[in-house]
A and B are shown apart, each in its own frame.
Chain A
C-alpha cells in the first residue's frame, strides 16, 4: 500500500439533505475523508448511518429531488465531482468509478442479457465495437470466476444464482478498469459461503488490478478481513477513522467500542447474551449541533450537552470525534460522569 501518495479521491465537508414532506432530513453532515490509490477503505455503521448516501452523493446517483448535496467538494482526477457537468459525470460513472450494489437479485435489468449489460459501459466509455465489447465481456466474466463465460453471455439475469449475479455486477463495475470501485454492501444479501467467495474474489481482484476500493458494510468481521483503513459512521457523521488494526485494538469512540462488543465471540461463554446498544439511531431533522450518539452513550459527559466534538487525532492516522479523545480535556475529569 503506497503510503503518502496523493489521494485518488478526496472528500471534504460533504453535506447531503433529503427534502421530505415532513421537513428536511440531514443524512450526511460534514463528512471528509480521502482515498489513496490501491487502498481498501472500509465504511461501517448501522443502517441509516449515512454510509450509502455518502457514496451515492459522490457520483450523483441520488435522485434529486428529494436529495440535495448542500456543501462540500469531491476531488477526483482534478475535478470537483459536485460541480462537473452531467456528461463528464456520466463518463466518470462506470468509467473511472465503478459501483457494486447490495442486492444482486434486483440490480440487473431482467429483460437484457448479461452480455449486453456488461457491454453497455464498454461501448460507451471505451468506444468498443460490438465484437470487441463481447470479447472483453468474456474476459471479465472469466475474471470474476464465472465458468463457461462465452455461453453465459447470452443468458438473462434470472438464469444466474445470487452469487453469480453479484459476480456479474462486479464484472460490470470493473469493465472499464476503474480507478475506484465503490462496493455498497456487496455481500449482505448473499449467504455466508457465497459471501466468503465474493470476499476472496475482491481481495484477489484488488491485488490483480490495483484499484482503490470503498467497501461499505455493517459487518465488522468483513472489514477486519479485507480493509486497510476504516471509517465508522454514525448519524451522518464520521465518528472514528483508523487503520484497521488500530481500530480493533484501540477503539476510541464509545460507539465503535459498543459496536465491537456486539460481535458474537466463538470462544466466549455460550450462555452469555449478545450485547446490544440500547436506544435507536437519531432521526436527523436538523443539522446536528451536538454529538449524535450522546443519547445512547454510556460515557456521556457534561460537555456533550454543550458542544459538538471535533475529530481529535489519536495517533498518526487515527482520529475520533469524541471529547474523550480530545487531548485538551483531562481524561480523569472526562470519565467522572460515566455511570
Chain B
C-alpha cells in the first residue's frame, strides 16, 4: 500500500532510494516487512481495542464492583509490566514448559516466510501470532480501557443521562447509546492517534518474538547508520501521524456535532 502510495513516485525514475546496509531499494524492504507488522501489531491493536472497550464500559458502569477492581488490576499489570518481560514469560511457559506435542505449545520464533494457503497453515499462523499479539494486545487494552472507563465515568454523571432515564429509556439504551456515543469522542481520538504506532511496529516485541517487521527494520537501520532507510521510515511515520491526526479530527467532527464545521 505504502509502496503504491509513495513508492511509485520514486520507483518510476532511476532515483530510487537505496539502503546503505543492504544496497537494495528501501521500499522493497519496507514492502517485505509490512505484512508481518500489520498482521501482528495491527491485529494486536484491533484485539486490544475490542477487549478494551467492553472492559472500559462495564468497569465504569459498575464502578468499584469486583469486575471493575479486577479490570483495574489487569490494566495496571498490562500497563506497568514491560512487554519484554511478558513476552519472555510467555515463551518460557508456552514454548519451553509446555510439551512440544501439546496443542497449547506455541512457537517462540515467528516465521516471516509462512504463507496462509489453507486451514492448516491458517491455524499455524494463528498459533505463531498468539503470543506476540497477546503481549501487545494486553498493553494496548490496558491503555485504552483506562481511557474508556474514565470517559464513561465522566459522562455517566451528566444531566442528559438523567434526562434519558426520565424519558423511560432502558439502561441498555441509556448506556450504550446516550453515554457511549459521548464517551467515544475522546477515546476515538486516542485510538486513531495510536494507529501510526502500529506501522511503527512494536520494536521490543518484534525483537522478542523475532517478528522481523518494521520496528526491527527501523532499529537495525538506526544501529547500522542506514540513513536512507531511517529517513524513509521516519518520513513515512511522520506522514502517517499527520494523516491519523487529520482522521482523528474528522472523526471528532462526525461524533460530536458541536465542533462540526457547517
A interface with B by C-beta (< 8 Å): 59, 61, 90-95, 98-99, 101, 103, 106-113, 120-121, 124-125, 156, 158, 169, 172-173
Contacts and interface: CB of A to CB of B under 8 A. Distances in A.
Contact of A111 (B162, B165, B169, B181): B181
Interface residues of B, number: 20
B13 interface: no
Given A101-B162, A110-B182, 5 more contacts: A90-B169, A103-B159, A109-B163, A113-B257, A169-B163
Interface in B182-200: 182, 185
A109 B182 contact: yes
Nearest to A93: B168
A111 B255 contact: yes
Contacts of A121: 167-169
Given A107-B163, A112-B181, A120 B169 contact: yes
A172 B163 contact: yes
A257 B170 CA distance: 44
Interface of B: 158-160, 162-170, 178, 181-182, 185, 255-258
A107 B178 CA distance: 12
Contacts of B168: 90-95, 121, 124-125
Contacts of A108: 160, 163
B189 to A, nearest CB: 15
Contacts of B167: 93-94, 120-121, 124, 172
B29 to A, nearest CB: 45
Nearest to B163: A107
B56 to A, nearest CB: 18
B162 A107 contact: yes
B43 to A, nearest CB: 30
Closest 7 CB pairs of A and B: A94-B168, A94-B167, A99-B166, A93-B168, A106-B159, A156-B257, A109-B160
A110 to B, nearest CB: 6
Contact of B256 (A59, A95, A111, A173): A111
Contact of B166 (A59, A109, A156, A158): A59
Nearest to B64: A65
A158 B258 CA distance: 6
A120 B173 CA distance: 10
Contacts of B257: 110-111, 113, 156, 158
A124 B256 CA distance: 25
A61 B178 contact: no
A49 to B, nearest CB: 20
Contacts of A98: 166
A111 B258 CA distance: 8
B259 to A, nearest CB: 9
